[in-house]
Structure 1
């Protein structure tokens, strides 16, 4: 019981507000990683985890049965669920992928505003643990294990200052990273052969709305969430 109480105390603990320079530095590093091609190639694996995790979360919410998950070294992924092949629930589940990292970042920004920075990291640990149960390929196991180990190390052995800085960085990274995969998706769709199995093209087959409109909706949501979430986080810093 003491161990459970200790773990809960860690999850629920209030976090100190970080100095302004910590938040500004976290934002700068997040932007650099998103814009620098070599760093982005590595960090995009985290975005893929959030993307596929969003598919799985919404699949559960709309009553589908989870079957498995695959994460690939080219930073693509597949979330597998069973249920009705058409309908509003499938549309929601499919739409969730490209907006998922941004929405998760917005939720994390809300927790930061409530001084729950450590909770952001613990939620990440929990999500990774659930995804580990569903993963069906070796690279996926490796990718989840690396991210999960970093998050768990921070929540269990990190100082309060390290945990807060990491939570702000992760949140800002998800917010800043959200629009880039959408731009990459449209570039891929414009090449010869396109991307017929992309989320946008699947949504076009599930609805009367063209794929390019779905791409625009992905981008609109992610940019709006970036502005809102960034304002939530950075406004107190500049105030």
Structure 2
């Protein structure tokens, strides 16, 4: 008796498909890859943020240096050196504020840079014959209402570095700090050096109704500046 062979036809779709094990492995590999990428995302974003902050600090430093060295608003008819020295000497420190502000409350597209002394800054001349005028370089309280981003409070004080080595540094300033700064001792007429070295501490503050342009050294003494450096103005 002749046996018959029954042909078996395999469905082409089933032959080209994936098994359950293959699907599970593929999903597992995909999830591991995604988790690895997510793990790298955090440090990458942090690095980008640090670069942006570094660029911002560099911009503030350049702005402050340009303001102190060449602003036409600081004692326009006299010596910038005398004005800055007296501003720092009057309270043992001076405050410069740097921030970006909207051109007008109604226009949020136009943003400009503002820099100037705090409203309480005093640079009265010790000699009435040579007055000092920094009024044009002082920022009004109303200007801070237009701040578009962080306000940088820049505190200027006598530097620990003296222009020339001296055995008696107390001639110009105290040997110890109070609230983070030295007490200045030499009057403008008694300051014999050709340059005035200053320590510059930069603090970042948020704008808003609670912001005050007046610097409270006792409060700042407990805060860490975002950057500190030394600069000098030349006679």
Q: Normalising to structure 2: TM-score of the pair? A: 0.31
Q: Which structure: greater strand fraction?
A: 2
TM-score under structure 1 normalisation? 0.31
Higher helix share: 1
Could you say which structure has the greater relative contact order, defined with CA pairs below 8 angstroms and 6 or more residues apart?
1
Rg (Cα) greater in structure: 2
